[in-house]
Amino acid sequence: MNRRRTVRVPASSANLGPGFDVMGAALDLHLEVDVVETGRFAVHTDLRIARDKRNLIVRGFAALAPPDDFEFTIRSDIPLSGGLGTSAAAIVAGLVAADSIFELGADVLAQATEIEGHPDNVAAALLGGFVLCVDGHAERFEPPSGLECLLVVPSQAVRTSKAREALPSRIPMSDAVFNVAHASLLVLGLARGDLALVSRGLGDRLHQPRRAHLYPRSWELVQQARDLGALGATISGAGPTVLVWCDMESSGAVAQRLHEHADGWAQVLRVPFTGQGAEARF
């Protein structure tokens, strides 16, 4: 039958400061996979990822349909060093490919969340834009105009499992209140397109300070971001990548300062937020 799809899925940044395991945003970097029915199984890629059925795209596909008769050719410009939703993009790509090829009408978000273990990255990868994940559902809204972001991507990775281990099972009430307040400010600022409110809403006491020992340079940059002319900065996902929030007028100057700051330990990428989520093409 030689059925085929090409699926394109964006990178994502999760947590966004105070929105731990709740908020995410899609970024204009992409993973792309060609899925072709050839009668045999194979994974083709230049990336340093699994080429057997442990591959996350294949695992996503296999959650909905047998992958045995399909070949997967994978390309990606999403850095693999951590914090940009590579696993979420892969899982979503496999699920969307199977759902589209077999016309299943599956609940892709629920399936992806089950495989990934948390919804924020997979929701942003699937839907695009900014997402709020609550009670198994994702509410999506468009990135505000005038808001830009820069990524500082360290060469040294941080394991997500280590980042999870760094978090306590209980936190002080004052930290919880701080995060609820700042997450509320951030959402209001994004919804209104009020970048001053966005800047005020980026504070976090829940996860970033408790993980700072895993990415000291990244955490130092988060604390210095406003001095460099940015609205602020957040650790992207479990780190170590830093998402630097900027208004359109100042992002060029901020990028120049970041290049100097990151020299020798990280690369700086100018990557817009994107409203486009996962898409499947024939």
Residue ranges making up the domain that contains 55: 4-142
Q: Give kind and range of the element (H or E) at residue 206.
A: none
| Count of domains forming the chain | 2
Q: What percent of the chain has pLDDT over 70?
A: 100
Beta bridge partners of 281: 6
Provide the pLDDT for residue 50.
Answer: 95
Boundary residue ending a domain (142, 171, 191): 142
In this structure, the answer to whether residues 166 and 119 fall within a common structural domain is no
> Would residue 167 count as lying in a domain?
yes
What is 261-273 written as a DSSP string? HHTTTEEEEE--B
Quote the CA–CA distance of 40 and 37 in Å, as a whole number. Answer: 8
Task: Mark whether 113 and 16 lie in a shared domain.
Answer: yes
71 is written with which tokens?
A: 């070949």
Give the pLDDT score at 1. 62
What pLDDT score does 164 carry? Answer: 86
281 found inside a domain: no
Pick from 117, 185, 190, 120: which is nearest to 149 by CA?
Answer: 190
- Residue 280 in domain: no
Q: Which of residues 142, 170, 195 is at a domain's end?
A: 142
CA–CA separation, 179 and 175 (whole Å): 6
In the prediction, which pLDDT does 242 show?
98
> In which residue ranges of the chain is pLDDT below 70?
1
SS3 33: strand
pLDDT, tens only, 152-201? 999 888 888 888 899 999 999 999 999 999 999 999 999 999 999 999 99
pTM of the model: 0.95
Identify the CA nearest to 168 among candidates 204, 207, 221, 126: 207
Residue 126 and residue 67 share a domain: yes
186 within 8 A of 138, measured Cβ to Cβ: no
In a domain, 279, yes or no: no
Omega of the bond leading into 240 within 30 degrees of 0 (cis) = yes
Residue-level pLDDT at 42: 98
Residue 216: CB atoms within 10 A of its CB come to 10
Write the pLDDT tens digit of every residue in 242-263: 999 999 999 999 999 999 999 9
Token duo for residue 280 = 């499947």
